[in-house]
Structure 1
Amino acid sequence: MITASAYKGKKVGVFGLARTGVAAVQALEASGADVLAWDDVPERRAAVGAYSHDLYEADMHSLDAVMLAPGVPLNFPAPHAIVVRCREAGTPLISDFDFFEKARTDMAPHKVVAITGTNGKSTTTALIGHVVDECGLPAAIGGNIGKGILSLDLLPEGGVYVLEMSSFQLDLTQSFKADIGILLNITPDHLDRHGDLDGYVAAKQRLFEQQGPDGVAVISVDDSHGAAMATTYAGHVVPISVETAVAGGVYVLDGMLTDDMDGEAVVCADLRECAPMLLGSHNWQNAAAAYAAGRSLGFKFEDIISAFGSFPGLAHRQETVATIDGIRYVNDSKATNVDAASRALRAFENIHWIAGGRPKEKNFTALAALMGTVKHAYLIGEAADAIAHDVGGDVDVADCRDLEHAIECARANAVEGDVILLSPACTAFDQFRDFENRGDVFRSLVLARTGERS
């Protein structure tokens, strides 16, 4: 657990008692703070016992700060009532990352790597954690992936905290300073929370605005927003790209990773040969970011590339579940938007594509140009008609209603060398609890088939 002596004797409110909030209550209590915790859900309030106190009725002037859960809106679609009360009283609003920043002065010397972006955050976070571990330093992975930041174990001297950060977390954070900040990409997402795309971009940019003068900013320049940020923070940027050579940075063209961080372009590896779990240009972007982080931490390029080769990948992110009768089954349930699905469609050939669910976006027209690698599309859920309308002129489609039927239809059509790919381009909430549940069901259905074959 992370504790901060700066909060000893302070009176701090915590609003929102899911994973982040409960960890915050425990960390504040262990730090010697007087904690008042609240959630609109009674069951969550019960989890914090005696610390439960109605913040709607509390005297906000008496609080030194209120820590908000990431899901609590600051401005859009409207400021939450607790946010309004804090602003009226002049009570500081903080995040668990701000608490972590205060705690750093009590911790053994360490480094912090923070990763954000619309897509690829979790894979890159896990990959960097794996690289740190393989290169011989202690690592702790958390934030928006796995453990909440305040639930992480303290690392010994030389340790590296590798933290995934969502736009919601960045929106709340006031003082967190990453030693190495990484931006992978920006495409429209969570616009209801940020008001518009400019608001979403501004949240991502906070990662670099808060960095100290010695911080390193690893920024993909393959979209206009990242390119603009790289210009803004030109003094300490390592640009990365999978589209063009970038001076002073790291780039991957046709799978070949090139290191130009020292001003002399050196081809380090063919990722197609040495990194089996990092297929496709989107994973090459993740690898470029992880490589730049590793080099900034002082690791040798040979050790970083070796670590890439043993990276096991993450569940639900282009996860190969099985190969049956020469047909590869890939679980990419995490692809909950068009951009994420497009990355998977570029990574494979001879695809039987299972897509659909509850749509995040207004249309799927951007995927039509990628149907050249798709043999057949099997559509499920609320978005089936919309996807059929937008890509049906470029590929044969079937409305399969649900995932089990889609898998059976794909099995009937696929032949040796084909890929059955679940990459929905939609959320799972119409038929499943979340994308993990959807991916787990896909895996179970596929593995049941291996039992039949046995």
Structure 2
Amino acid sequence: MDSMIQQYLDDLHGKRVAVIGIGVSNTPLIQLLVRAGIDVTACDKRPREAFGGQTEALESLGVTLRLGEDYLDGLDQDVIFRTPGMRPDVPQLLAARDRGAVITSEMEVFFQVCPCRTIAVTGSDGKTTTTTIIAELLKAAGYTTYVGGNIGRPLLSDVEGMEGDDIAVLELSSFQLMTMDQSPDIAVVTNLAPNHLDVHRDMAEYVAAKENIYLHQSEEGLVVLNADNEITRSFAPKAKGQVTLFSRRQELEKGVFVRNGTIWVADEKGRRPVLALDGILLPGVHNVENYMAAIGALNGIVPDEVIRTFAAKFQGVEHRIELVRTLDGVRYYNDSIASSPSRTAAGLRCFAEKVILIAGGYDKHIPFDPLGPEITAHVKKLFLTGATAAKIRAAVERTPDYTPGHPEILEYSDFTAAVLAASRAAKPGDVVILSPACASFDKFKNFAERGAAFKKIVYELESTGK
């Protein structure tokens, strides 16, 4: 076992550890701690019956469980692992810290003990696709690559198998970054726009969390920033290490930019074309930006020819403008990952024709006004469902270019009913896209479950002979 992770686990012996949240990210952590002989209490707000047989399996390993509404009461352990979605300033955590407890997270410990290079991606939109592109390019170039963070699997339990020449690629959310005091070797910020304001106090706190991805780098670090985004561009002067900017809108003296339909790189070795835009299989200008961010991170690490070969074949990540099927001349796309207005706007711009849009969901308290003009410009029929339906309707109807019926707006309380209604309204040549502009938590566990539900409905549609 790697000496750093072994030393960390050895230091926990004789201490009591609490892990808050028994979910995808923390279950492997619990198992790792138990295998190392650590006294573990696992805490979760859900009742026992919500876990099936998982609670019995954990208890058979010697884990103490604290479940239900009072799961945070009596936190008196020496080390407490916070689940990523929990604010670090909830009263019970603050009280535990005042008593001398160490409050940490799986990701924070991973950065302490990881023996190899790290590349991490954050942003409001494009995180997962950019992270996936970077990881797949590294694999194609022959690197042993680990993918985790907000996607993939938690990587702390993989540390013991990592070698110094490997590379760990991470997608990091604002929740994971809020308390981070270490930064990756290479940091990428795709863009920033209002998001997760249901959890963050305000936009300033959200931006401050994101900045932790690069603020703790050394002089050897690299941060890749979107020069076309006002917020991310402002990060450059604060970086301690190197900065690479990327821009789709302007040529740069140094960085990654588009010229004459090709992505170019300008660095200390000169200027060179890397990837023709028509060589990218993924549709949409936002995916051009995702490739530019990845190229900025991997310049000098992955050969240009590997990038070109990959871009011509890569079809994207599930739930991200994913073509589900074509039926009766209608194309159905699953863009369930679009949990913010800016992400939905980017998806709508991918299509030359006006689309039939299914939108709405959990309210993250993000303003929908910027989405209104995008919908009036790119949508022929709008099917709304979920908690935010009325807010999205109001944003569209306030748009100066909106006239009644353009687009036609219909609301459905039931998700399935909305999808079926959109299907009935579609004619040959139409595009029907689920791109909610909202999180899924009003009706689904996460965006993947929502996307899977959409795909199931679409797969079960029968031809009407239209």
Percent sequence identity over aligned pairs: 30
Equivalence for 1:69: 83
SS of the residue 2:152 aligns to: coil
- For the 8 Å contact 2:380–2:408, the answer to whether it is kept is no
CA shift digits 1:84-143 (9 cap, x unpaired)? 233212333222122223323xx4xx3211111111111111111111111111211111
Residue 239 of structure 2 is aligned to residue 233 of structure 1: yes
Match of 1:367 among 345, 359, 371: 371
TM-score, normalised via structure 2 length: 0.85
For the structure 1 residues 34 and 414, does the alpha-carbon distance in structure 2 shift closer, same or farther, using more than 3 Å as the test?
A: closer
Matches within 5 A, 1:428-443: 428-443=440-455
Quick check: 300-309 or 403-412, which moved more?
A: 403-412
Match of 1:125 among 120, 131, 136: 131
Equivalence for 1:178: 184
Residue 435 of structure 2 is aligned to residue 423 of structure 1: yes
Note the C-alpha offset of 1:243: 2.6
Matches within 5 A, 1:352-391: 352-361=356-365, 363-370=367-374, 371-391=376-396
CA shift digits 1:370-414 (9 cap, x unpaired)? 222222222223333332232242522231414444444444444
CA shift digits 1:64-90 (9 cap, x unpaired)? x33222122113xxx230x22332123
TM-score, normalised via structure 1 length: 0.87
| In structure 2, distance between residues paired with 1:432 and 1:285 | 30
Question: Which structure has greater helix proportion?
Answer: 1
Residue 407 of structure 2 is aligned to residue 396 of structure 1: yes
Match of 2:95 among 65, 85, 89: 85
CA shift digits 1:178-205 (9 cap, x unpaired)? 1111111111122343321111111111
Quick check: 249-258 or 201-210, which moved more?
A: 249-258
Note the C-alpha offset of 1:249: 1.2
| In structure 1, distance between residues paired with 2:199 and 2:154 | 21
| In structure 2, distance between residues paired with 1:197 and 1:330 | 31
| In structure 2, distance between residues paired with 1:407 and 1:41 | 30
Note the C-alpha offset of 1:436: 1.8
Residue 9 of structure 2 is aligned to residue 7 of structure 1: yes
- For the 8 Å contact 1:9–1:34, the answer to whether it is kept is no
- For the 8 Å contact 1:221–1:230, the answer to whether it is kept is no
SS of the residue 2:25 aligns to: helix
Residue 253 of structure 2 is aligned to residue 281 of structure 1: no
| In structure 2, distance between residues paired with 1:114 and 1:358 | 27
Residue 317 of structure 2 is aligned to residue 314 of structure 1: yes
Note the C-alpha offset of 1:42: 5.3
| In structure 2, distance between residues paired with 1:20 and 1:384 | 31
Equivalence for 1:447: 459
Which residue type is aligned with residue 173 of structure 2? Answer: S
How many residue pairs match? The answer is 439
For the structure 1 residues 265 and 409, does the alpha-carbon distance in structure 2 shift closer, same or farther, using more than 3 Å as the test?
A: farther
CA shift digits 1:281-326 (9 cap, x unpaired)? 2212211111122225x21111122122222311111111112333
For the structure 1 residues 254 and 442, does the alpha-carbon distance in structure 2 shift closer, same or farther, using more than 3 Å as the test?
A: farther
| Aligned-CA RMSD value | 2.8
| In structure 1, distance between residues paired with 2:444 and 2:113 | 38
Which residue type is aligned with residue 139 of structure 2? Answer: D
Gaps of 5+ in 2: 67-71
Note the C-alpha offset of 1:439: 1.3
SS of the residue 2:287 aligns to: helix
- For the 8 Å contact 2:328–2:463, the answer to whether it is kept is no
For the structure 1 residues 25 and 420, does the alpha-carbon distance in structure 2 shift closer, same or farther, using more than 3 Å as the test?
A: same
